[in-house]
Amino acid sequence: MAQLGLGMASLGRPGYINLGHGQDLNHDYSIESVRNNAFEVLNQAWNSGIRHFDVARSYGRAEEFVSQWIREMSIPSQEITISSKWGYTYTAAWKVRTPNGVAHEVKRHELPVLQRQYATSLNQLGEHLKIYQIHSATKESGVLNNQPVLEFLDRIRQTGTSVGLSVSGPEQAETIEKALTVEVNGERLFQSVQATWNLLEQSAEAALRKAHDLGLKVIIKESVANGRLTPRNQSPNFRSQKEQLSQLAREHQTTIDAISIAAALNRPWAGIVLSGATTAEQVTSNLKATSLQWDDELERQTSKFAETPIDYWKSRSQLAWN
């Protein structure tokens, strides 16, 4: 079984697309309140045995918060894994909703961005930074063919930091396949891949299995689909699936989110499954997945929920920042 980690996408900034995010923060978006909530979640995760924490330059103050928390907790670098990402710049200016035409984050997969963001990440996280990833690599961005970028990433790899990529969108599988062919100086560059896999979006499974078989560390993100695989999903289109998942949760004396995360934890090719919890209570609920006995019947009953990649990512793109 894979291990549970904690993703910080919803913990370092006031706005995010998770269903009910504003409610989780009690609509208190001050830097102090968001920091205090992040520390509470980090403490709950750490005290529950979670040791992998995933951040990014575009997650608002996530790197800063994690760095402060590590110092307060006096956590030695050998006891924790921090993965971070470069490529997106946070541009929301600590606002939940940005003015028309202003993005929350802007993607630039260019060498100057990599150099600037890596220096900042290293300054924030120091020796605790174990994995550095391209944030949402796609074929369209051209980053996997950008030789100066690839060579700089290789220099990072030579310092002992693992180099990886995260992928998003309906062509996740194709991007992973391309990444597996990337070499610098005759060696495969990437040592890890982070991708969306959940009960609704399973299109990258074969590519992720191949990555695992080639020795890459596989990290799963969005295992509850930004809250769509929780009771918060009130969409009429999800009513039938929600009823079926609720019945399964009752039968196994657990929660819908735990069922969903357990499905990811029990992929034989997965190494880490990131919880996207925004509250300590959600961490506790997510952790129930680690004690759920997964079997062939659960596999059969949960395998029927997958959407087409186009439909899944279209629905995700319509989630509102809150």
Residue 10, pLDDT score: 98
Residue 65 to residue 35: CA distance in whole angstroms: 6
* pLDDT over 90 (residue 100): no
Instruction: Please answer whether residues 181 and 100 qualify as being in contact, where contact means their C-beta atoms are separated by less than 8 angstroms.
Output: no
pLDDT at position 14, please? 98
**pLDDT at site 136:** 98
Mean pLDDT of 155-163: 98
Could you say which DSSP state residue 168 is in?
-
Q: What distance in Å separates the CA atoms of residue 88 and residue 90, rounded to the nearest whole number?
A: 7
**pLDDT at residue 119 in the model:** 98
Q: Domains for the chain: give ranges and CATH numbers.
A: 3-317 (3.20.20.100)
Mean pLDDT of 273-298: 97
pTM > 0.95: yes or no = yes
pLDDT in the model for residue 99: 87
How much is the mean pLDDT over the chain?
97
Residue range 234-266, pLDDT digits in tens? 999 999 999 999 999 999 999 999 999 999 999
Mean pLDDT value across residues 205-217: 98
Of 130, 109, 112, nearest in space to 121 by CA: 130
Per-residue confidence (pLDDT) for residue 101, from 0 to 100: 75
Q: pLDDT digit string (tens) for 39-93?
A: 999 999 999 999 999 999 999 999 999 999 999 999 999 999 999 999 999 999 9
How far is it, in rounded angstroms, from Cα 138 to Cα 168? 7
Q: Are 153 and 86 in contact (CB under 8 A)?
A: no
Please give the pLDDT value at position 61.
98
Q: Which of 90, 142, 151 is nearest to 121 (CA)?
A: 90
